[in-house]
Amino acid sequence: MRPPKPPSRPDRVSLLHHARLFRQDILSAQPARLYRAWMAEFRTPFFRSFLCNDPALVRRVLEERPDDFPKSDRIRAGLAPLLGNSVFVTNGEVWKRQRRIIDPAFAGGRLREIFPAIWAAGEAAVARQPTGVAEIEAATSHAAADVIFRTLFSIPIEHEVASAVFHRFRDYQRTQPILNVAAFIPWLPRFHGRKTRAAAREIRALIARLTEERAALITAGHAPDDLATKIMTTPDPLTDAVFDTAEMVDQVAIFFLAGHETSASALAWALYLLAANPEAQERVAAEAAALEPDFGTVRRLPFTRDVFRETLRLYPPVPMMVRETTAAEDLRGRKAPKGAQIVLSPWHIQRHERIWDRPDDFDPDRWQTDAAKTSAREAYMPFSSGPRVCTGAGFAMMEGALLLAMLVRAFRFEVVETPVPVAHLTVRAKDGIRLRVQRR
């Protein structure tokens, strides 16, 4: 089955036309040749950028020399109203310090400890899901937000503050492309509308309230042993300093963005793909029939995990990442000047015609083949790779497979209409994903 894919623009268009397309949707603003090219240079009077699909170049940027290719300040400027100085946008020593504090919360046995919270969120999602025709992105956003608040602060989505954050963020996210033309033009300011700034302030104020309340519980010795407590009490092993309240607000904002928005996107696309492939859906349902509320149950969902892995290949929640050169670089014989933008596109490399077999087809079984495993080593990065790989990747894979199995065990999903993928903060459907839902 070949799922929906945005149309590509003509190979040659005017700069004005390209800018107009880029503003509407970064995916359909790209030419079809990027699904075969190892690299493409975009040169204008204002900026130069290089989209790199060559696995060797991607390794250089993300794994071998990441300090020479820091995250672009242009992306940081675009997300600053909500994310502040969070780990998602920082570079250098600031980023390294933040990761030293955050990473232990997601290490080893912590996944076992947070499993009950994810299971409870899955049960709530099943109980909340109506039958009939439903806009499924709304349901998966609700479920993913519930997971974040239960694992971070030990509160369900129905909690007053959690609910307020969720609803403010739902209004905020669709207005914010992760990339736009201003991200590439150094002298062009990143403008944020009054409503955007106001929504970001409201979200951050609500997060600050939760963080301050948790700090008081930690001081009193009554804090639950969840992710927020773990992160707020973990000292930097080099300086022995912990996050202060303002720093913690930044980090919670990115946990909500990365942990809620990306999971919601992937889960919605996974349900659509299963609705469009009834045989695969029934295989997931059969696997899910043996689900039990214990951590070991996740290991008994191999096909469901492959469905989720294939969904992340076809619809990576973050479709493009932007780095910046700190010095002149040679890229496949082309000279990239200092300050050039290096675009790494999971969307394109994970559908690359010279790397993947049948790259646009939905085929979860491919993940049991040596060919796919080889391709994945070269060109699979829904969570990035190298030192800046998403610290919550294991969390996300467990959450995605478990929620998908729980929903498909309870319901049968059928396609109502074909969605159109577009990129906002993550890869979403232009007008939502409408599925018919029937209880099994």
336 and 40 in contact (C-beta within 8 Å)?
Answer: no
Average pLDDT value over all residues in the chain: 88
Picking from 24-28, 142-146, 151-155, 226-230, which range would have the lowest pLDDT averaged per residue? 24-28
At 409 the pLDDT is 98
Structural domain contains residue 6: no
Q: Is 8 contained in some domain?
A: no
Helices (H) and strands (E) in the chain, counts: 16, 11
pLDDT at 188: 47
CA 270 to chain CA mean position, Å: 14
Split at pLDDT 50, 70, 90, the class of 74 is low
Residues 201-225: tens digit of each pLDDT = 888 899 999 999 999 999 999 999 9
Q: Which domain holds residue 404?
A: 15-439
Which of the pair, 160 or 19, is modelled with greater confidence?
Answer: 160
Q: Is the separation of the CB atoms in 407 and 271 below 8 Å?
A: yes
Identify the burial level of 116 via C-beta atoms within 10 angstroms of its C-beta, where 0-12 means exposed, 13-18 middle and 19 or more buried: middle
Q: Which of these ranges, 9-18, 102-111, 290-299, 389-398, has the smallest mean pLDDT?
A: 9-18
CA-CA distance, 254 to 231, in Å (whole number)? 13
Name the DSSP letter for residue 31: B
Residue 270 has pLDDT above 90, yes or no: yes
**Residue 299: band (very low, low, confident or very high) from pLDDT cuts 50, 70, 90:** very high
- Overall average pLDDT of the 390-411 stretch: 95
Each residue of 333-383: pLDDT tens digit? 999 999 998 999 999 999 999 999 999 999 999 999 999 999 999 999 999
Number of domains composing the chain: 1
**Per-residue confidence at 327, pLDDT binned at 50, 70, 90?**
very high
**309 falls in which pLDDT band (50, 70, 90)?**
very high
- pLDDT of 191 reads 47
In a domain, 257, yes or no: yes
**Is 176's pLDDT higher than 60?**
no
In a domain, 5, yes or no: no
Domain membership of residue 3 (yes or no) is no
CATH number at residue 188: 1.10.630.10
Distances (CA, A) of 337 to 45, 328, 340: 14, 4, 6
Q: Per-residue pLDDT averaged across 5-20, rounded?
A: 66
* Alpha helices per DSSP H over 289-360: 302-314, 346-349
Predicted local confidence at residue 307, as pLDDT: 98
Share above pLDDT 90 across residues of the chain, in percent, rounded to a whole number: 65
Look at residue 174 and tell me whether its pLDDT is greater than 60. Answer: no
Kindly state whether residue 323 falls inside one of the protein's structural domains.
yes
How far apart are alpha carbons 306 and 87 in whole angstroms? 29
Residues 102-159 have pLDDT tens digits of 999 988 678 899 999 999 999 999 999 999 999 999 999 999 999 999 999 999 999 9
Could you tell me if residue 223 is inside a domain? yes
Q: For residue 405, what are the CA distances in angstroms to 34, 88, 308, 368, 427?
A: 34, 30, 10, 19, 22
The mean pLDDT of 228-247, rounded to a whole number, is: 93
Q: Which of 30 and 76 is assigned the larger pLDDT?
A: 30
* Spatial CA neighbour of 268 closest among 431, 424, 438, 428: 428
* Amino acid (one-letter) located at 184: F
